[in-house]
Chains A and B, each alone.
Chain A
Amino acid sequence: MNLQVIYCNHQTSSLDLRERLAFTGDEQLAEAYSQLRDAFPGSEAVVLSTCNRVELYTAQDNDGASPTQQELAGFLSSFHGVPLEEFLGDLLLQSGPDAVGHLFRVCSSVDSMVLGEPQIVSQVKEAYRLAEQNAACGPLTNALFQGAIRVSKRVRSETRLAEGRVSIASVAVGDFARGIFDRFDDKTVLVIGAGEMAEETLQYLKSDGVQEVLVVNRSPDRAEALAQQWGGRGYGMEHLDEMLARADVVVAATGSDRPVVDLEMFTRARSGQSDRPVFVLDLGAPRDVDPAVAGVDENVFLYDVDDLQETCDRNRSQRSGEIEQALAIIDEESERFMRDIYHRATGPIIKRLREQWSEVSRAELERLRSKLSHLHDDDMDQVQQSLSRIVNKLLHPPLEALKDEARDGTPHGLLEALRRLFHIRD
């Protein structure tokens, strides 16, 4: 069995290179799998392409058809039209147990840019699904990817690697907004400006059920376009006062060099509404909301990027403390996976050998039974047990040797020797 991965990721290569080597869209992937099948007909293949990594896994059941690093790099080069010398130094190759450990680390998010982030598992699942759809994978990659998903579950349940949110938007919604509100489907969200972080925050809020989204922007057209994207309504800045009074959640992310929500405006908006909590998220740098707004009443919960960054950093350092435990699980699981794979290769030979010898002992027993008919059933049982013990004792040394050899890989030589010595045929 041969298993290898050729890859570049956020640690080994630049974003620019990763973008050039990335496989985007199902059609491009289908074409890649078609070319891989033509180039390496005896190989199973799975491509994992995300914004942080491009990885190509290949596996073969026998020694002969294993593609080399040069061949796989050549494929990437010709497929994407990127000269080999521009990226060969950034590509890494792992094979056998190292390749298994690599995928297990990737899928468990130990290798991710944001340690413990959950998206990678679904990306790995999706990569395998597409390989399956394109008839590119086989039994080895199937076992490998199923194993990786199982290991990632184990790492998540046995360590705190995925605990605590580490992105500004997820901390804002998960740690703070959810601490204030029980549900979001009856809340009104006001987005001021149109920063990238505001969009990410809105994504989290939408997944929590937000229905009503109001977007206020200097350009009403831009506001309307964004609002439509999120199923909301867009307004110009002149409506900010009115919208502020309606909002339960305010996300401000403009490029303005001075606060767009000042104390006076906010106090006006809160007039007669102090019983209603409002969550104000200021994602602007410089700030979009005057910090004095937090003191308007006790139901105003104002957070800026610095407030959230502190929580992100703390959670990130907490996650780092869990890496060692996660790696121990991954090592243990990689070892078990390799053992299972090698056992799969040696299993049929062991089975045939046992059957063959048992058949010989059965035949001898029958012969004995017909010759020594005066023996009682109890005596015959004793003889049968003795024969079984002899077979087991004779088989023990070769099978132990096979098991020992299998720890370091498929023992092709020994398997062949056993076949020839004991006349085992497939």
Chain B
Amino acid sequence: MDVGPLEAGMADVAIFCFLASYTVAFALELLRLKKPGRLGVLAGIVFLVAGFLAHSLFLWNKGRSAELPPLLSSSQDWILVLAWLVTGLYLFLVCCDRRLSIGVFLLPLVLVLVGSSYLLEDRPSQLLDPDVRARSGWAMLHVSSLALGSAGVLSGIVLSLMYLLQHRRLRHKSGTSPGLRLPSLERLSRMNWWSVVVSVPLLTVGMGTGLVLLLSGSAAPDDLTLADPVVIINGLSWLGLAGLFGWMLLRPRATGKQVAWRTLLACGLLLVTVVGLSVLTSSGSVSSRHASWSPQFPERCLVATGGHR
């Protein structure tokens, strides 16, 4: 079948395209701190939107070529979907109030996520087994809950940082800088609370469905157990976050600053764990069956284990 030049061009979108766009948008955001101006804001939005479109197109192409949603096609795509969610959230906030300096906090995270995707595996799924296809609904629930929960965790980190910065400015009696506009403490505190309250249940669903897939799994290899280092470390990070969740519900009168610090610690730990483990397992520094098997890669695992079923 003949492919038109437009379609061919769309298929050529690479990670570098949107990574470059986001980098320019971030540079413009930094420039705005020094020299605020409408032109800089607009240029930043243009680069951000261009990057977001390229990013969406990339994920769409990947999903189409793997005949699976991007979340299931590879661990690289999973992290790119996470970056896409965070960028979407940033775009939404920019649309609500473009004077707010949220990009300074969110864009570095996006860049870290997109940049770290270079270090992750990008083997296309060979998920062709009809039995595994029947279970892809559970797998989809597992990875999408984890992705959405992780996006909530990332926003929790950013909101906490913004809260602490705003709190510090107000306590030190520094006037607002025209280049760095932050939301009020009241709003940041509310948004922070919601980000934790929403992301912890989502992560719990992700963990729960992962467990279901693991225990019931005809597709999982026999040596994939709960004692796997990835399962243990992720489980511990989740426990930390669940602890924060419980503390927030039990201590409704906690100060915004206390919530911000604890969110920053718990969410930061989870972020470092998830990204760090993904990179370490991809490079082979940590040996884990979970890394070579995942709901999105059962077939690959089967190939690796010599068709053990």
Which A residues are within 8 Å of any B CB, using their own CB? 157, 160, 163-164, 171, 174-176, 178-183, 274-275, 277, 297-299, 301, 303, 307, 310-311, 314-315
Pairwise interchain contact B178-A179, C-beta atoms closer than 8 A: no
Once bound together, how far apart are the Cα atoms of A179 and B183, in whole Å? Answer: 7
A274 to chain B, nearest CB (A): 6
Which residues of A are found within 8 Å of B183, using beta-carbon distances? 182
Once bound together, how far apart are the Cα atoms of A315 and B257, in whole Å? Answer: 29
Q: Contacts A179-B176, A297-B255, A301-B170 given; 4 further ones with Cβ under 8 A?
A: A160-B178, A303-B173, A307-B173, A314-B175
Which residues of B are found within 8 Å of A160, using beta-carbon distances? 36, 178
B236 to chain A, nearest CB (A): 30
A394 to chain B, nearest CB (A): 47
Contact of B254 among A182, A183, A275, A315 (CB under 8 A): A275
Which residues of A are found within 8 Å of B186, using beta-carbon distances? 180-183, 277
Contact of A180 among B36, B174, B185 (CB under 8 A): B185
Which residues of A are found within 8 Å of B184, using beta-carbon distances? 178-182
Pairwise interchain contact B170-A182, C-beta atoms closer than 8 A: no
Which residues of B are found within 8 Å of A164, using beta-carbon distances? 175, 178
Pairwise interchain contact B255-A275, C-beta atoms closer than 8 A: yes
Which residues of A are found within 8 Å of B169, using beta-carbon distances? 179
The 5 nearest A-B residue pairs measured at CB: A311-B175, A182-B186, A182-B187, A275-B253, A307-B173
Measured CB to CB, the nearest residue on chain B to A183 is B186
Q: With A275-B254, A314-B175, A315-B175 in contact, do A179 and B170 touch (Cβ < 8 Å)?
A: yes
Once bound together, how far apart are the Cα atoms of A197 and B175, in whole Å? Answer: 19
Q: With A307-B173, A314-B175 in contact, do A298 and B187 touch (Cβ < 8 Å)?
A: no
- B166 contacts A by Cβ under 8 Å: yes
Q: Specify which of A171, A180, A297, A307 lies most central, judged by the most chain B CB atoms within 10 Å of its CB.
A: A180
Which residues of A are found within 8 Å of B257, using beta-carbon distances? 298-299
Which B residues are within 8 Å of any A CB, using their own CB? 36, 38, 166-167, 169-171, 173-176, 178, 182-187, 190, 253-257
Interchain pairs with CB closer than 8 A, number: 59
Which residues of B are found within 8 Å of A182, using beta-carbon distances? 183-184, 186-187, 190
Which residues of A are found within 8 Å of B38, using beta-carbon distances? 157
Pairwise interchain contact B173-A179, C-beta atoms closer than 8 A: no
Once bound together, how far apart are the Cα atoms of A50 and B6, in whole Å? Answer: 63
Pairwise interchain contact A175-B176, C-beta atoms closer than 8 A: yes
Measured CB to CB, the nearest residue on chain B to A186 is B186
B250 to chain A, nearest CB (A): 14
Which residues of A are found within 8 Å of B166, using beta-carbon distances? 179
Pairwise interchain contact A299-B173, C-beta atoms closer than 8 A: no
Once bound together, how far apart are the Cα atoms of A386 and B187, in whole Å? Answer: 73
Pairwise interchain contact A180-B255, C-beta atoms closer than 8 A: no
Measured CB to CB, the nearest residue on chain B to A277 is B185
A362 to chain B, nearest CB (A): 51
B253 to chain A, nearest CB (A): 4
Contact of B178 among A163, A183, A301 (CB under 8 A): A163
Which residues of B are found within 8 Å of A277, using beta-carbon distances? 185-186, 256
Which residues of B are found within 8 Å of A176, using beta-carbon distances? 170, 173
Once bound together, how far apart are the Cα atoms of A160 and B185, in whole Å? Answer: 26
Which residues of B are found within 8 Å of A275, using beta-carbon distances? 253-256
Contact of B171 among A183, A301, A311 (CB under 8 A): A301
A193 to chain B, nearest CB (A): 22
B240 to chain A, nearest CB (A): 23
B120 to chain A, nearest CB (A): 39
Once bound together, how far apart are the Cα atoms of A274 and B187, in whole Å? Answer: 18
Once bound together, how far apart are the Cα atoms of A181 and B183, in whole Å? Answer: 9
Some 9 contacts from A to B, beta carbons below 8 A apart, are A157-B38, A174-B176, A179-B176, A179-B182, A180-B170, A182-B187, A182-B190, A277-B185, A301-B171
Once bound together, how far apart are the Cα atoms of A329 and B18, in whole Å? Answer: 39
Measured CB to CB, the nearest residue on chain A to B190 is A182
Which residues of B are found within 8 Å of A179, using beta-carbon distances? 166, 169-170, 176, 182, 184-185
Pairwise interchain contact A298-B171, C-beta atoms closer than 8 A: yes
A99 to chain B, nearest CB (A): 32
Once bound together, how far apart are the Cα atoms of A181 and B170, in whole Å? Answer: 12
Which residues of A are found within 8 Å of B178, using beta-carbon distances? 160, 163-164
Which residues of A are found within 8 Å of B256, using beta-carbon distances? 275, 277, 299
Measured CB to CB, the nearest residue on chain B to A165 is B175
Once bound together, how far apart are the Cα atoms of A310 and B173, in whole Å? Answer: 10
Which residues of A are found within 8 Å of B187, using beta-carbon distances? 182
A404 to chain B, nearest CB (A): 37
Measured CB to CB, the nearest residue on chain A to B259 is A275
A155 to chain B, nearest CB (A): 14
B262 to chain A, nearest CB (A): 14
B193 to chain A, nearest CB (A): 12
Which residues of A are found within 8 Å of B176, using beta-carbon distances? 174-175, 179
A83 to chain B, nearest CB (A): 47
Once bound together, how far apart are the Cα atoms of A301 and B185, in whole Å? Answer: 12
Q: Specify which of B174, B186, B256 lies most central, judged by the most chain A CB atoms within 10 Å of its CB.
A: B186
B72 to chain A, nearest CB (A): 40
